Structure 1
Amino acid sequence: MSFDPNRPTILYAAPLSLFSGKARAYLRWRGVAFEERLATKEVYKEIIVPRLGYAMIPVIETPEGETIQDTTEIIDHFEALAAGPSVFPEGPRQRLAAHLLELYGDEWLLLPAMHYRWRHNRDFAYREFGSTAAPDASPEEQVEIGKKAATRFEGVVPMLGATPEMAPAIEASYEALLGELEAHFSVNDYCLGGRPSVGDYGLIGPLYAHLYRDPASGEIMKRLAPSVAAWVERMHEPPQPESGDFLAGDEVPETLLPVLRRMMTEQGPCLRELCGAVAAFKGGSPDADIPRALGMQPFTLDAPGVKEATGKRLIFPNGQWLLQRATDWLGSLDGSERASADVFLKQIGGDFVTPELVEAPVRRENFRLVWA
């Protein structure tokens, strides 16, 4: 893909930010000429909040002056401009798997990511928050600034389900996932072969910024799953832009199926309840703005050896927006392609994923969810 280096895209981001890592990895693979600017306190005040109406990174400013905030929309934007290979597979099974994995990484793996950061990497996180907010302050000042800046992130951790009581289950589930990913990435460069898909970019957010880059969790990954660590490094520093191919014949590797089955076992029941909660909210308040969360829901982790693996977490409507990418794709298929996709979903325990699952569709407009 060709971009004018004299008119670079600007990425407002931070090294410790989960979704900044997703955006950065994609822009590098796509070969976008971009300039990364640290999201300091001043940048939030003068640029990000005035444009979005709230404080969130990453934010993209295109050479044409367009502002894009969500990483999924960032990828969609540049994919629409690209003439080269796409991160969206064309086969029905591979495309469905890619959308599901993006949903899994973006929404569900927030749980281990936030758990490990705030249980095992807290002091490191304070320093990182401080150096991001005030890069010119002394190390001692940065720690104090970081503690204040991190307050809103720490406060939401229990609401994501990462409570002290759930710690053994979260760690057992995550280590089991690492084992499944290790088996896959020991024989595959990416999720679906030799080219990263949008599913890889969903996974890279939590697996890079929190679970690889944070020192304590990074040590765990490198020790238990060195092939996963190598994939993270390959994703973050692509060997060559726009390179590689997906597996032929719309193949979803057998080694990837345990990961998708884990997703359906853990996240699947929450997705069903999420869609019901969104529909119920619209039915009761059809003219109200869609809130960022709709109460709490129970969830259960597939945590080997742990007796108590059930907790509660917030219900995020944004998860339905990501789910709709899979259900919309499924709904666009017919004939043998739809039959192939349906067989694949049954293989992974996801046959409940149908277009009919989404009763009250949503979309994004002006940086917020609205009714479709």
Structure 2
Amino acid sequence: MSNPYKVHGALGSPYSMKVRAAMRAKRLPHVWVPMTADIRGDVLGQVKAPVIPVIQTPDGHWTNDSTPFLLALEDEGRALLPPDPVQRFACLLLEDMADEWTMKAMFHYRWHYAEDAEWCANWLMYDSLPLAGRDQVEQAAAGIRERQISRMALVGCTRETKPVIEGSFARVTKHLEEVALGDTLFLFGNRPSLADLAFYGQIKVMSVDPTPMAFLRKDRPYFYRWLDMADDASGIDGEWTEAPGGPVQALLGVAGDTYLPFLSANEEALKAGHETFSLELDGKPYTQGVFKYQLRCLMALREVWKDLPDEARSTLAGMIGTNAAMLG
């Protein structure tokens, strides 16, 4: 390969960190290009949706949706999906949950608490404007802080939903702490999977934000250290496990009673032409705006679910719970 992949991303972007860690884990030649303000317009002009990371492939193609990009690379470098059908679907579901549900916790902690909002905005703008000086960085930070806080209700991060989001984050990281202290280094064995790297991406950026950093260091200290291991797993060799371990089964339970109902409620609202949807999660209210992309996520999971052997579906349904029917 004469040209490496170019990953245009930012250290404060969970999906950028996910892709960078995945490229390292796959051992594919790549370079990391910080998405600074001077190149942002030109780079984002290469893709349809103005979100990062933006990847330029060795043949000159541009893309920026992390999951389809990495799935398309599955046969290049080291595989990130376990070959067993049960394990493979579990990996895809947990990766999706990390990207679309754990993301709520990242956004909530980043902009709900005043100390975090100031810290994060300044940090994000410093990465974008590394030579601009303190005054210009903090002036730009005030603008992005106001803009992101204004979007919180749209993505479901409000005072009303705070108990759901923080409670779910505590539950998910409890099981990820079990992985860090378990019999294997990663969720599906002693090698990194796509699901591991999706959780890593979301929570790595949280691990330097004041409020979640304090929680992780106090209550999830070994998972906190695991994040650094997952950051570059290029030199870690190992095999897949034969069946989902306890932490994976527990996380599938979270997907069953939280993430799948969330996706299903979004689907129903979109079909009804509503702009928002509400449901009860963990006995508490949750409301947000509808998202067509999250319907695409549900449809993609259903396609994989449909093609599973009957025995694999039955095994997974036992772990996911009754809401596995939402995949049918």
Out of 231, 238, 243, the position equivalent to 1:244 is 238
The answer as to 2:322 corresponding to 1:347 is: no
Q: Which residue of 2 aligns with 1:179?
A: 174
Q: 1:56 and 1:10, CA in 2 relative to 1: closer, same or farther beyond 3 A?
A: same
The answer for the alignment partner of 1:231 in structure 2 is 226
The one-letter code matched in structure 2 to 1:236 is D
User: Cα deviation per residue 1:221-258 (whole Å; 9 max; x = unaligned)?
Assistant: 121112221221111121516x321102xx01123222
Deviation sequence 1:286-324 (CA, Å, 0-9, x none): xxxxxxxx621113343xxxxx72120122222232333
Give 1:353 shift. 3.8
Rounded to whole Å, the distance in 1 between the matches of 2:91 and 2:52 is: 23
- Which residue, out of 33, 52, 68, partners 1:57? 52
Q: What is the alpha-carbon distance in structure 1 between the residues aligned to residue 185 and residue 241 of structure 2?
A: 11
Correspondences of 1:73-84 after superposition (within 5 Å) = 73-82=68-77
In structure 1, what is the equivalent of residue 135 of structure 2? 140
Q: Name the CA distance, whole Å, in 2 between partners of 1:154 and 1:117.
A: 9
Tell me the distance in 2 between the aligned counterparts of 1:100 and 1:17.
21
1-structure distance, mates of 2:27, 2:319:
36
Match of 2:247 in 1: 255
- How far 1:92 moved relative to its partner? 1.6
> In the alignment, is the contact (CA less than 8 A) between 1:129 and 1:150 conserved in 2?
no
- RMSD over aligned Cα, in angstroms? 2.1
Q: Structure 1 pair 192/53, CA: closer, same or farther in 2 (3 Å)? A: closer
Residue of structure 2 equivalent to 1:319: 294
Matched-pair identity in %: 21
Cα 1:275/1:171, change in 2 over 3 Å: closer
**Alignment coverage as a number of residue pairs:** 324
Question: How much does 1:279 deviate?
Answer: 4.7
SS of 2:278's equivalent in the other structure is strand
Q: Structure 1 regions of 5+ residues with no counterpart? A: 282-293, 303-307, 356-372
CA deviation profile, 1:318-353 (whole Å, cap 9, x unmatched): 22323334322222233xxx2232232233214214
TM-score, normalised with respect to structure 2: 0.90
Q: Look up the match of 2:15.
A: 19
Shift of 1:123: 1.4
> Any idea what SS the aligned residue of 2:154 has?
helix
Q: Relative to structure 1, is the Cα distance of residues 192 and 310 closer, same or farther in structure 2, using a 3 angstrom cutoff?
A: same
C-alpha deviation, 1:165, in angstroms: 3.1
2:161 counterpart SS class: helix
Alignment of 1:119-158 (within 5 A): 119-120=112-113, 121-158=116-153
1:8 aligns with 2:1: no
Aligned residue in 2 for 1:105? 98
Letter in 1 for 2:14: L
Q: 2 CA distance for matches of 1:244 and 1:89?
A: 12
Provide the C-alpha distance between the structure 2 equivalents of 1:195 and 1:186, rounded to a whole number of angstroms: 15
Q: Is the 8 A contact 1:10 1:34 kept in 2?
A: yes
Q: Which amino acid aligns with 2:256?
A: M
The Cα of 1:149 is off from its aligned counterpart by: 3.2
Task: Report the AA paired with residue 32 of structure 1.
Answer: L
Alpha carbons of 1:140 and 1:16: their partners in 2 closer, same or farther (altered >3 Å)? same
Report how far residue 136 of structure 1 moved: 0.8
Residue from 57, 61, 64 that aligns with 1:66: 61
Letter in 2 for 1:195: R
Tell me how far apart the structure 2 counterparts of residues 269 and 53 of structure 1 sit (CA, whole Å): 29
Contact 2:105 2:166 in 1 (8 A): yes
- If the length of structure 1 is used for normalisation, what is the TM-score? 0.80
Check whether the contact 2:110–2:117 (CA below 8 A) recurs between aligned residues: yes
Call closer, same or farther: CA 1:53–1:179 in 2, change over 3 Å: closer
**Distance (Å, rounded) in 2 between the aligned partners of 1:333 and 1:172:** 32
1:103 Cα offset (Å): 1.3
User: How far 1:278 moved relative to its partner?
Assistant: 4.7
1:127–1:139 CA contact under 8 A, matched in 2: no
Tell me which of 274, 281, 287 is aligned to 2:266.
274
Amino acid at match of 1:340: A
| d(CA) in 2 for partners of 1:87, 1:110 | 21
In structure 1, C-alpha distance between the alignment counterparts of 2:297 and 2:192, rounded to whole Å: 18
2:36 corresponds in structure 1 to 40
- Distance in 1 separating the partners of 2:224 and 2:140: 31
Instruction: Report whether the alignment pairs 1:91 with 2:91.
Output: no
Q: Contact conserved, 2:153 with 2:289, CA < 8 A, in 1?
A: no
Q: Does 1:189 align with 2:185?
A: yes
CA 1:200 to 1:61, structure 2 compared with 1: closer, same or farther past 3 Å? same
